[in-house]
A and B are shown apart, each in its own frame.
Chain A
Amino acid sequence: MNERPPALEMRGITKRFPGVLANDDITFDVRAGEIHALLGENGAGKTTLMNILYGLVSPDTGEVLVDGTPVTIRDPSNAIAQGIGMVHQHFMLVPVLTVAENVILGQELLRGPFLDLPQAARRIRELATQLGFDVDPDVRIEQLPVGQQQRVEILKAIYRGARILVLDEPTAVLTPQETVEVFTVLRRLQADGAAIVFISHKLEEVLAIADRITVIRRGKVVGTRRPSETSDVDLAVMMVGREVLLRVDRGKSHPGDVVLKTEGLRVKDDRGHEAVRGVDLEVRAGEILGIAGVAGNGQDELVDALVGLRRPAGGKVLLGGAEITGAPTRRIRDLGVAHVPGDRQRFGLVLPYPVEDNLVLTSFDEPPFATGPLNLLRNDAAIDEWSERLIKEFDIRTPSRDVRAATLSGGNQQKIIVAREFRGANRLVILDQPTRGLDVGSIEFIHRRAIEKRDAGTAILLTSADLDEVLELSDRIAVMFRGHIVAIFDAAVAERDRIGLLMAKGGAAAA
């Protein structure tokens, strides 16, 4: 046994929020040179626990020990002083500042009254080399890809002397390649003796990286396992509390008429570069067409053009044979197109609105939710009844229909959108990254609903950066690379490796 006390120990932590027991007597520790994963569904209490550790929330009971000594953490600067560093899910970086400026922010290196940026840059470069990654300290954050930004976050924590590093869902925004790179960085930090808390709800990841895995559910510790003595199915059951279908049974599709068709569609991105360069697609009623591709290969612009949020630069979009190229969003929606957007907080929801208003966000001016002349009046009774029904039917976990959507977990926020968009008889549903950042329970739920929708005869277009999701759900798979569809496969004969290669290298690889 190790005689040294753990680098970090949390004992009997309990935190109650109005109406929720967020943490219920949680005990958890991590040793120097260890990666300890904290696994749980969204809303299980992982983030609350870490916010307690970082001094953002104070616990009702329980204590925190660093190197065996009880400490009180009142605020983040306190936590930093104790050697605790946090890498948040949403990066806390200033986009217009350089890497160096971001890293030293709050601990500025001075020469006289002036910033000594060259000196800071030098130190940062050294530190980065030590950690085995290469980051240019003089480049502005906004110019960096997401994976690099995350490394800057890690660098920032280490620069401030963190020996205990907490990563909150670090891979949620990363591509598979970037994930592998982050893992390399974490292993190196581990070898250097850092204690790492890795928060995630992705089973494969925690199995791949962690030395120990602690599962929490509804604020309680369910158990701690070593990766060697458990499996993904085992962990999923612990996490959700029941058997979970990691693979939803898809059944055979019965494709009907062509619902959506694009011909030579070209779309420009915000900077005026052509992001979609002549795409021909067909989606039939009763089938799911999945678009696989590394994020940023034109999927976002394609979807925007289909739903009228972006005017195509060329080509045609046809819905049931009728041209809708460049039609306003409103008209496209009225023609029976539903859309689950990729960025749910920016597009899919109005966070300060109550759940019920979000449930009618795209139908607020249609009967029965609106009445009177020109559908000018809001019909609260109908909205209430509708919301109650959807909340039940889609299992949206919310204290009531009138709490703000912002207060719900990511999974429940997404369920609001899915409930709203899956209502009624749609001809086409566009699912853009429908399960990004969600836990297994929510993923299973949304996948099941999508299949049901397909079987009801709706055409479904799915885009996802998660290849496994595309493989699981799709009847046909199109691979998108640099604005082109480089291949289309029948899912029955699609090979994972081949698609992966096409995603990474495009058509050249297929030859």
Chain B
Amino acid sequence: MRQRIARRLSAAWRTASIPVLSTALALVVAGVVVIASSAFTGNGFQPLLPVGAYLQLFVGAFGSTTAIGNTLVAAAPLMLGGLAVGLGFKAGLFNIGVAGQFLAGAFAAAVVGASLATSTGIVAVPTAFVAGALAGAALGFIPGFLKARTGAHEVVTTIMLNNAIGFLLTWGVTDLVRAPGFSFPRTGDLGNSALPILLGRNLHIGVPIAFLAIFVIRWLLERTTVGFQIRTVGANPNAARYAGMSPLLVITFTMALSGLLAGMAGAVQMLGVIGFYASGISANVGFDSIAVALLGRSNPIGILFAALLFGAFRAGAPLMQITTSVPVEVIDIIEALVILFLAAELIVRRVFRIRAARAVPEEIATVTRTWGEQVAR
């Protein structure tokens, strides 16, 4: 029994070691940046600044029930977005379109939510939420279909769709669904469509939904025949074809499902935090999701922890800025460094003297795969 636990732990460490150590290394290097830049502030050179800053970051993220609530609320859309990207990686797809699908989900949830503002919550909330999810799915379906049908690379199509959908929604909120009585174009108030608060000030029902999604996707991938097909297409599309699977169908389905998750992220954020759609709402979740999926190694449980980490960064950063005047943008530096170290795994191995056998993780392989290499049709 004990042996089995030990074996599982060591297996878990084998997969988690590089992400964990990359994060540690990123914190150290970002700390150096903080120290170096402190020299240019009014307070002069402060070699111990990062220690204080990280401490405040931690307190801001976990120091109180409110702080923990903030962390969870910030993590929820990242979990869903991370799953969206991670699921794509499993099928060998790089969905950079999560940002656009997130916006589509947020927009649809906002419009439907506002129109149901006076209905009872039991109807309004699920309807608005599902509308957001479906909008994301529809937007994810397009690049999937294009790839399956014409071989158009999803990286190109999703990036272009991100822009197209952003402008389209700006037009929509300006000319089609603009709510009267506000000085700028925005959708109406959500009223009863807002996600119910479960605990404290802001811990909405989207948080348990995101946790649930983690386990549903894990179940889908590991326990169902659909998941088996997704993983097979990702691991060896030739073998998938040989075995009688239809990679094109799987790709289309996976992109739509990935879009659905991204749309859910948008809906959760809209109905639980933002409250109305206006031009220029942040689609950062879309890009952070890529980082979350990479850090989580496309594994749903890994994504859960990565999203919690990034959520904690986001939730704790304001306190760090207020108390130590280290700007919140340091979080962006840390995130960027994490990705850098994950991609340049060799650096991490050198620094920490890891000598285990090296294999290119599937998500990195997907990102770096040459574009000439397409699924045979």
Q: How far is the CB of B10 from chain A (nearest CB, A)?
A: 12
Given contacts A329-B244, A333-B244, contact A350 B223 (CB under 8 A): no
CB neighbors of A among B225-255 (8 A): 225-228, 232, 235-236, 238-239, 241-246
Which of B225, B242, B245 is A370 in contact with, Cβ under 8 Å? B225
Closest to A372 in B: B224
**A258 on the B face (CB < 8 A):** no
Q: How far is the CA of A357 from the CA of B229 in the complex (A)?
A: 11
Given contacts A330-B244, A333-B244, A362-B243, contact A350 B225 (CB under 8 A): no
Which of B227, B235, B243, B245 is A352 in contact with, Cβ under 8 Å? B235
Which of B225, B232, B235 is A376 in contact with, Cβ under 8 Å? B225
Contact A376 B224 (CB under 8 A): yes
Q: How far is the CB of A494 from chain B (nearest CB, A)?
A: 31
**A378 on the B face (CB < 8 A):** yes
In the complex, which residues of chain A have a beta carbon less than 8 angstroms from the beta carbon of B242?
307, 309, 329, 339, 341, 347-348, 362
- For chain A, the bracket of interface size reads 20 to 34
In the complex, which residues of chain B have a beta carbon less than 8 angstroms from the beta carbon of A332?
244
Q: How far is the CA of A442 from the CA of B236 in the complex (A)?
A: 25
- For chain B, the bracket of interface size reads 10 to 19
Contact B241 A350 (CB under 8 A): no
Q: How far is the CB of B329 from chain A (nearest CB, A)?
A: 39
Which of B228, B232, B238 is A378 in contact with, Cβ under 8 Å? B228
Contact A350 B246 (CB under 8 A): no
In the complex, which residues of chain B have a beta carbon less than 8 angstroms from the beta carbon of A346?
236, 238-239
Q: How far is the CA of A376 from the CA of B229 in the complex (A)?
A: 11
Q: How far is the CB of B322 from chain A (nearest CB, A)?
A: 47
Contact B243 A376 (CB under 8 A): no
Q: How far is the CB of A487 from chain B (nearest CB, A)?
A: 30
Contact B235 A353 (CB under 8 A): yes
CB neighbors of B among A351-374 (8 A): 351-353, 357, 361-362, 364-365, 370
Contact B239 A349 (CB under 8 A): yes
In the complex, which residues of chain B have a beta carbon less than 8 angstroms from the beta carbon of A361?
232, 239, 243
In the complex, which residues of chain B have a beta carbon less than 8 angstroms from the beta carbon of A376?
224-226
Closest to A331 in B: B244
CB neighbors of B among A188-204 (8 A): none
Closest to B232 in A: A350
Contact A378 B239 (CB under 8 A): no
In the complex, which residues of chain B have a beta carbon less than 8 angstroms from the beta carbon of A378?
222-225, 227-228
In the complex, which residues of chain A have a beta carbon less than 8 angstroms from the beta carbon of B222?
378
Contact A347 B239 (CB under 8 A): yes
Shortest 8 CB-CB contacts between residues of A and residues of B: A330-B244, A347-B242, A365-B225, A329-B244, A350-B236, A362-B243, A333-B244, A350-B235
B residues within 8 Å of A by Cβ? Answer: 222-228, 232, 235-236, 238-239, 241-246, 362
A residues within 8 Å of B by Cβ? Answer: 307-309, 328-330, 332-334, 339, 341, 346-353, 357, 361-362, 364-365, 370, 375-378
